[in-house]
């Protein structure tokens, strides 16, 4: 009989004890993070809701026109208008606020880590398995520590989104810095530039197009967490999808789902347009 022997190793019990210890020891730290994150989301949501609907559509049209084409601007503006006609305007603003907050935090954390990895082989070797685990771990697993440390709500959604969306910008930042032509770096050093001056004035400008590709990937991965994050109490369009599933409401599910698709198209095209613009500027330089 292929029966496994009666051997048990309760790894989960030790993990639970470790998490309890962390939560108790760093309670003030987690409270501080919760306060900052919740305030950031609320301020961003209030700011977006303060804008008249027509002005927000004009802004989206302008971004689409500037970074892509006039037709794209009109199409993106139409997408936003359609979402408003679904009665999901406020949910859309909350979703955008959560995504923007998560992406900004990802960039603040991820770009410096990527730069550090590009300068240190040892740090890169240590960090890569961690990044691999962050990208391969099932998304639902992120929700457990998020709920434990921050409770239900938008802050937990940001925490879970960070874990999922952070690796692309770190990896592509490292790749971009390492990919800068060695001769250009040597020329900067020959003119007496320090490491910091070389990074600031040579490597980062040369690496910007690739870093922007990482920003695009991070933003799209943050958006892909919208529905999953609603399971920990996140508001917005993802919550409406979850409600439609619970109620088996096809109409609401279609409207909320297609709204997320519209947002995904707009965000992807605009961020991709920004990356292409930086690429063209780099080619001219």
What pTM value is reported for the model? Answer: 0.84
Q: In sequence order, which residues have a C-beta less than 8 Å from that of residue 62 and are 6 or more positions away?
A: 73
Cα–Cα dist 67/237, whole Å: 26
List for the chain the helix, strand, coil content (%; round to 5). Answer: 85, 0, 15
Q: Which long-range contacts (CB under 8 A, 24 or more apart) does 247-251 make?
A: none
Place of tokens 């962050």: 134
Question: Where does residue 181 fall: left (phi above 0), alpha (psi -120 to 50 degrees), or beta otherwise?
Answer: beta
Place of tokens 């190793």: 9
Output the CA torsion 161→164→165→166 (10° steps).
110
CA 177 to chain centre: 21
pLDDT tens for the chain, 285 residues long, are 567 777 777 777 787 788 788 878 888 888 888 888 888 888 888 888 898 999 999 999 999 998 888 999 999 999 999 999 999 999 999 999 888 888 888 899 999 999 999 888 898 899 899 888 888 887 777 777 778 778 778 888 888 888 888 999 999 999 888 888 888 778 877 777 777 888 888 888 888 888 888 888 888 888 888 888 888 778 888 889 888 988 888 999 999 999 999 999 998 888 888 877 776 665 555
Cα–Cα dist 204/118, whole Å: 12
């Amino acid at each position: 009989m292929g029966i496994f022997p009666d051997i048990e190793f309760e790894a989960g019990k030790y993990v639970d004890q470790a998490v309890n210890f962390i939560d108790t020891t760093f309670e003030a730290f987690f409270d501080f993070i919760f306060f900052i994150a919740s305030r950031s989301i609320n301020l961003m949501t209030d700011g977006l809701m303060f804008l008249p609907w027509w002005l927000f559509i004009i802004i989206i049209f302008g971004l689409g026109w500037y970074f892509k084409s006039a037709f794209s601007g009109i199409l993106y503006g139409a997408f936003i208008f359609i979402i408003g006609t679904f009665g999901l305007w406020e949910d859309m603003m909350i979703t955008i606020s959560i995504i923007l907050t998560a992406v900004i935090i990802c960039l603040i954390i991820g770009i410096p880590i990527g730069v550090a990895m590009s300068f240190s082989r040892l740090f890169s070797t240590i960090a890569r398995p961690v990044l691999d685990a962050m990208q391969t771990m099932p998304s639902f697993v992120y929700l457990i520590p998020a709920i434990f440390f921050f409770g239900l709500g938008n802050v937990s959604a940001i925490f879970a989104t960070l874990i999922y969306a952070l690796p692309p910008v770190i990896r592509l930042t490292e790749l971009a810095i390492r990919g800068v032509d060695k001769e250009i770096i040597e020329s900067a050093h020959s003119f007496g530039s320090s490491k910091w001056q070389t990074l600031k004035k040579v490597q980062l400008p040369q690496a910007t197009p690739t870093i922007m590709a990482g920003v695009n990937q991070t933003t799209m991965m943050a958006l892909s967490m919208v529905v999953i994050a609603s399971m920990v109490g996140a508001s917005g369009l993802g919550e409406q999808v979850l409600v439609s599933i619970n109620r088996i409401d096809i109409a609401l599910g279609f409207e909320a789902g297609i709204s997320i698709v519209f947002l995904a198209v707009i965000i992807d095209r605009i961020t991709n347009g920004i990356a292409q613009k930086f690429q063209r500027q780099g080619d001219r330089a």
